[in-house]
A = this chain, B = another copy of it.
Amino acid sequence: MNTLATLDTLDTLDTPAALIERTRMQRNIERMQQRMNALGVRFRPHVKTTKCIDVARAQRDAGAQGITVSTLKEAEQFFAHGFTDVLYAVGMAPHRLQHAMELRRRGCALVIITDGAESARAIAEFGRANGEVFDVLIEVDTDGHRSGIRPEEDALLQVARSLHEGGMRLGGVMTHAGSSYELDTPEALRAMAEQERAGCVHAAQRIRDAGLPCPVVSVGSTPTALMAQSLEGVTEVRAGVYVFFDLVMRNVGVCSESDIALSVLTTVIGHQVEKGWAIVDAGWMAMSRDRGTQKQKRDFGYGQVCAVDGTVLEGYVLSGANQEHGILSREGTADTDIAARFPIGTRLRVLPNHACATGAQFPEYHALGEDGALQTWGRFHGW
């Protein structure tokens, strides 16, 4: 997990390697933080995207308050590195309550979530039996895409009461409009951001109207965070992928290729000249199997190919992938000059469809500074 300076360069680093362009990352961090500051809300980045202490420190240094995690392993790792304000944003499974309690008793201000009566009851029962007052948010479903209680459901107040009367600390409500990933116009994104905000604020209001506490109103996804026109009534926003961005976000319309801070460094290892293919050593094990751009307005295959300096090579994509082989080709007509254009040994970068999935394939990132120096930033893996 330590930051290590290395003597490697982009010409000597073993490939495939996960590369972070720090200038871009820093610009992405500041863009989001400034937006959240302007809208007057706290910002709690989702560290599941990077699972990297160094990145989270840069987010904190820019003004982020607390972190969001998707596993208790992330909570453990970040807590061990001094991040104490942690929202575990996946519905609490009863068998994980013991672990959550242990984390809290070691000093981690872990907040958990529930999206139903059964799990709320399990939390309250376990808490009472163990003398632990858990901080709990209720997950609200504002777009029908996954989990949560809809703002108008009776269950919302039942769960709120069950937690409050069960002796837990009802922290408020949270939602994630994950279906924003399926949109691609500013109008639709703004409308989804407003739907997410309004739904979550409405849920909070119902809880307060019932005489129950609801201090936190937490919303977010990268697209809605960046496109929201108002966050009235919201106290905190969460987003993850914005720190790196990716081709899916480019198609959604919240970044351009030149904002994407994560790429995979790869080497040309062969050719199939008649087909116009170069074979590179970044296959799906490096890029991940994510084909998120397949059903979007532009399909980038397994990734957009760039020169080693980061210049986008328009029209060149990874059109296919085996485990350790990527097939680089030109969209449309075959490039019969492919072997001369990309001789064996040529180093290239590939922008990923989905930064969270691609990053997860690597034990570490190589962070490239403006001066060309590389640092090794650890990331963790598994549960």
Expressed in whole angstroms, the minimum distance between the Cβ of A156 and any Cβ of chain B is 14
- Say which residue of B17, B270, B286, B381 sits within 8 Å of A91 (CB atoms): B270
Q: Which residues of B contact A269 (CB under 8 A)?
A: 90-93, 119
- Please state if B272 and A119 are interface contacts (CB–CB under 8 Å): no
Cβ-based interface call for A40 (8 A): no
Q: Which of A337-375 contact B (CB under 8 A)?
A: 339, 343-345, 354, 356-357, 360-364
Q: Which of A278-309 contact B (CB under 8 A)?
A: 279, 281, 284-286, 288-291
Expressed in whole angstroms, the minimum distance between the Cβ of A272 and any Cβ of chain B is 7
Majority secondary structure of chain A interface residues (helix, strand, loop or mixed)? loop
Q: Which of A241-273 contact B (CB under 8 A)?
A: 267-272
Q: Which residues of B contact A289 (CB under 8 A)?
A: 288-291, 354, 357
- Per-residue contact bits, chain A 158-183, to B (CB 8 Å; 1 contact, 0 not): 00000000000000000000100000
Expressed in whole angstroms, the minimum distance between the Cβ of A199 and any Cβ of chain B is 16
Interface 9-residue window, one of A184-192, A211-219, A222-230, A317-325: A317-325
Q: Which residues of B contact A118 (CB under 8 A)?
A: 339, 343-344
- Please state if B324 and A279 are interface contacts (CB–CB under 8 Å): no
- Please state if A48 and B323 are interface contacts (CB–CB under 8 Å): yes
Known contacts A147-B270, A344-B119; A285 and B360 CB within 8 A of each other:
yes
